[in-house]
Homo-oligomer: A and B are copies of this chain.
Amino acid sequence: MTPEKLIESLQFRYATKKFDAERKIPAEIWAVLEHSLVLTPSSFGLQPWKFLVIDSPEVRADLSKKSWGQSQVTDASHLVVFTTRTDMTEADVDRLMDSLSSIQSRSPESLSGYRNVITGFAAAMTPEARHGWNMRQTYIALGQFMASAAALGIDTCPLEGLEPAGYDQVLGLVGTGYATSVACAVGYRSAEDKYASTPKARFPLEEIIEHR
């Protein structure tokens, strides 16, 4: 990608308020966006998340009630709910070790040092801090996902104004060890969305980037 195209793509992105409810993302493009989620980097590689793609119009309608009725939840081509592991246990670390061992052909012995670093790190945090840490990883996924969609000319709207506990209930997440962090509507902007042409309000570069 050229530098010009990158900026064009990031300028193209905006929090789409009104989606074209008739226009669906082609299956082969959606598959690429799912792949982009899988490729998200995370601390230690722990991938403390599940991404729920909500296909059912009924579930979308139920979630809409837990999102202040925002039309994006029901109108967008796709809706992804970003859920986060609520803890970081030895089982989570072992799951990663198994993955490393199988994909990178590493022996358990060669991984034991790495395993100790992660478990020591997790043990030094409170349960709330572990959940908070994991939630932040989920936002890396959100950031990469919105940038990836924009690079493909696809619109998104991040949805933080939702009731996480309500989402968890609708989605049957209670007690599963995963909880809703944030959602993202994905699709194509409606020609009627006046926000598409609203200038982006960003603080001046001089106010948010400092050199030391």
Q: Check A6 for interface membership: any CB of B closer than 8 A.
A: yes
Task: Provide the bound-state CA to CA distance between A43 and B138, in Å.
Answer: 15
1/0 contact string of A13-31 vs chain B (CB within 8 Å)? 1010000000000001100
Known A-B contacts A9-B1, A148-B147; A38 and B139 likewise in contact (beta carbons under 8 Å)? no
Task: Provide the bound-state CA to CA distance between A5 and B36, in Å.
Answer: 11
Is B200's CB under 8 angstroms from A50's CB?
no
Beta-carbon nearest neighbor of A43 in chain B: B160
Task: Provide the bound-state CA to CA distance between A112 and B45, in Å.
Answer: 43
Beta-carbon nearest neighbor of A103 in chain B: B201
Residues of the B chain whose Cβ atoms lie less than 8 Å from the Cβ of A103 = 199-202
Is B15's CB under 8 angstroms from A3's CB?
no
Task: Provide the bound-state CA to CA distance between A197 and B152, in Å.
Answer: 27
Task: Provide the bound-state CA to CA distance between A187 and B202, in Å.
Answer: 26
Q: Check A115 for interface membership: any CB of B closer than 8 A.
A: no
Is A40's CB under 8 angstroms from B143's CB?
yes
Residues of the B chain whose Cβ atoms lie less than 8 Å from the Cβ of A208 = 37-38, 47, 49-51
Residues of the B chain whose Cβ atoms lie less than 8 Å from the Cβ of A100 = 201
Known A-B contacts A41-B146, A208-B38; A5 and B10 likewise in contact (beta carbons under 8 Å)? no
Task: Provide the bound-state CA to CA distance between A99 and B199, in Å.
Answer: 11
1/0 contact string of A196-212 vs chain B (CB within 8 Å)? 00111111010011111
Q: Check A110 for interface membership: any CB of B closer than 8 A.
A: no
Q: What residues make up the interface of A, taking CB atoms closer than 8 Å to B?
A: 1, 3, 5-7, 9-11, 13, 15, 28-29, 32, 34-41, 43, 45, 47, 49-56, 59, 95-96, 99-100, 103-104, 132, 135-148, 151-152, 158, 160, 171, 181, 198-203, 205, 208-212
Q: Beyond the given A140-B146, A144-B146, could you list 7 further A-B residue pairs with CB under 8 A, ordered by the A residue number?
A: A38-B203, A39-B200, A39-B202, A50-B208, A50-B209, A139-B139, A147-B148
